[in-house]
Amino acid sequence: MPDTHADAAWAELDRLAREPGAGAIRALFAADPDRAARMTHRAGDILLDLSRSAVSPAVLEALLALAEATGAPGFLAAMARGEAVNATERRAALHMALRAPEGVRMRAGEEDASAAVHGTLAAMRRFTAQVHDGTLRGATGARFTDVLNIGIGGSDLGPAMAARALWTPVAPMRAHYLANVDAHAFEEIRARLDPARTLVLVASKTFTTQETMANAALARAWLAQALGEACAGAHLAALSTNLEATAAFGIAPDRVFGFRDWVGGRFSMWSAIGLSLALALGWEAFARLLAGARMMDEHALTAAPGRNLPLLLALAEVWHVNGLGYPARAVLPYDERLARFPAHLQQLEMESLGKAVRADGTPAPRATGPVVFGEPGTNAQHSFMQLIHQGPRPVPVDFILVARPDHPHAESHRTLLANGLAQAEALLHGKDAAAVAAEMRAAGAAEAEIARLLPHRVFTGDRPSVTILLPRLDPGTLGQLVALYEHKVACLGALWGINPFDQWGVELGKQLAGGTLAALEGRARAKDPATAALVAEIGRLAAQP
């Protein structure tokens, strides 16, 4: 359906993108000495500095017009009202209900979503307390010290990321995450675990995911072998929407923590899928995580567009992707505890926005989700940052900095932050030929040598980044940070007109895996000639002593 309002907004952005110097950033600082302050916004504990993005005041105005024309803020409101914003699957996307306090009632269509959420939270809380106080123990009478979450994708990445970010040695339990169907992962994890003290959570929204079911079977066999068949059940619990399948797997109903289909996998760490976090970190920490996300929900739903952090982050992405044609973005948390945050964002953003068809079924006329990748700083500086500084096209960066560490090594922390801040500066300012030549001359280089190396040592600059600053990393600030990106994704869905809540693209490989398994087992011949040849070679190599 043509939307002239949105078309006009896109046309204005296209016009601005054709203007000379559209991607220049240093010029924006030169034109406005207050740019850093003007482009810095706060919500809750989060500071978002967009000044080093390539968004100029004129571009911002056009982007805000686009937001209005595409109804991006209204889309968040429709989500909160429990409308079927996931149009292809005719479902709500009501992860906001998972962290809404009891007084705030939310509905998914006809269903009282809040009642379901708070019922599950109460059950999770009881279960967590019973495990921690020893009321619930393993089959031998030993207390549970370790929780093993078996799940993949959204049933793994969020909790694994948050456990890595928030776990400390004084936490009540240790958490382990098994995702890959590669049994090397299982073997590596079980070597660290005592089955008598391990609680296994089978985490799967559908409870049909091949990898998770395979790993759950391995874990149950491991428990049965160590403790006896009848005892394995005492060590198992399930986190799922599919109660029939959990029963068929043999998990007692009081060990099943449910959620609804209006919770998307990549938005599910706040649901029963987060039980490993409650167990490992304690209920208080889990509750603070939810409260942090709730704080960001309230901000996203109420802040004016020009001050709305998730919307502004989304708009900067639109400019970088659509205006300037930058096809990728890097995420660099300068905090080792956030090592799995880029992996979580990879699923959150690319599974949500990696689509070329709009929600109404028509082809998306513009680029949509960029490639998202990342690593913690400073490690990334010694890895892919070369390409980001001097590669053929800019790759915008999200720098995530944490002001106060939770260790006593102040000097290390200053070094860490100095590096993060310096990277953003280097990307912006670059280094021109005159500066390179002067530096080389000062170091005594001959003119011929300067001429030879000059092209290699010049940095163009004007490479965009945004900086997110947290006062410290704790459950509350992590909840805010994750929800910030969740809402950014939803805003981008609205801006691009695509459904950010489905993921049909992951189906084809799953379907074909059945056929390739038959080929590997010699029950059928692979249809694809390249697969058939590789299957034959795998058979030959596997048969070798």
Ligand X SMILES: O=P(O)(O)OC[C@H]1O[C@H](O)[C@H](O)[C@@H](O)[C@@H]1O
The residues that touch ligand X, with contacts defined as CB under 6 A, are 151-155, 204-206, 209, 212, 265-266, 351, 503, 506
Q: Which of 83, 211, 317, 351 is catalytic?
A: 351
CB 395 within 8 A of CB 532: no
Phi, psi dihedral angles at 49 (to 5 degrees)? -105, 110
What's the min distance (Å) between Cβ of 209 and ligand X?
Answer: 3
What's the min distance (Å) between Cβ of 536 and ligand X?
Answer: 29
DSSP letter for 270, please. T
d(CA 352, CA 370): 11
Active site includes 488?
no
Q: How, if at all, do strands 107-108 and 465-472 pair?
A: unpaired
Q: SS3 letters for 362-375?
A: CECCCCCCCEEEEC
Task: Name which of 410 and 506 has its Cβ closer to ligand X.
Answer: 506
What's the min distance (Å) between Cβ of 510 and ligand X?
Answer: 7
CB 400 within 8 A of CB 356: no
Active site includes 118?
no
> Would you call the peptide bond into 378 cis, given omega within 30 degrees of 0 as the criterion?
yes
Strand partners, 470: 402
What's the min distance (Å) between Cβ of 246 and ligand X?
Answer: 12
- At 446, the amino acid letter reads A
d(CA 488, CA 493): 9
d(CA 366, CA 497): 10
Q: DSSP H helical segments within 19-91, as ranges?
A: 26-31, 35-38, 57-70, 72-80
What's the min distance (Å) between Cβ of 210 and ligand X?
Answer: 9
What's the min distance (Å) between Cβ of 238 and ligand X?
Answer: 11
- Compute the radius of gyration of the chain from its Cα atoms: 25
What's the min distance (Å) between Cβ of 273 and ligand X?
Answer: 7
Q: Which of 175, 193, 95, 195 is nearest to 128 (CA)?
A: 175
Q: Which of 5, 382, 409, 527 is catalytic?
A: 382
Helices vs strands, H then E, count in the chain: 23, 13
Identify the three-state secondary structure at position 94.
Answer: coil
CB 262 within 8 A of CB 82: yes
Q: Which distant-in-sequence residues (6+ apart) come within 8 Å of 65 by Cβ?
A: 9, 12
Q: SS3 letters for 440-476?
A: HHHCCCCHHHHHHHHHHHCECCCCCEEEEEEEECCHH
d(CA 341, CA 328): 17
Task: Name which of 154 and 476 has its Cβ closer to ligand X.
Answer: 154
Percent helix, strand, coil in the chain, to 5, is 55, 10, 30
Q: How, if at all, do strands 256-258 and 236-240 pair?
A: parallel
d(CA 160, CA 235): 20
Q: Which of 6, 23, 60 is nearest to 320 (CA)?
A: 23
Neighbours of 263 (CB within 10 A): 27
| Residue nearest ligand X by beta-carbon distance | 265
Residues tagged active-site: 351, 382, 510
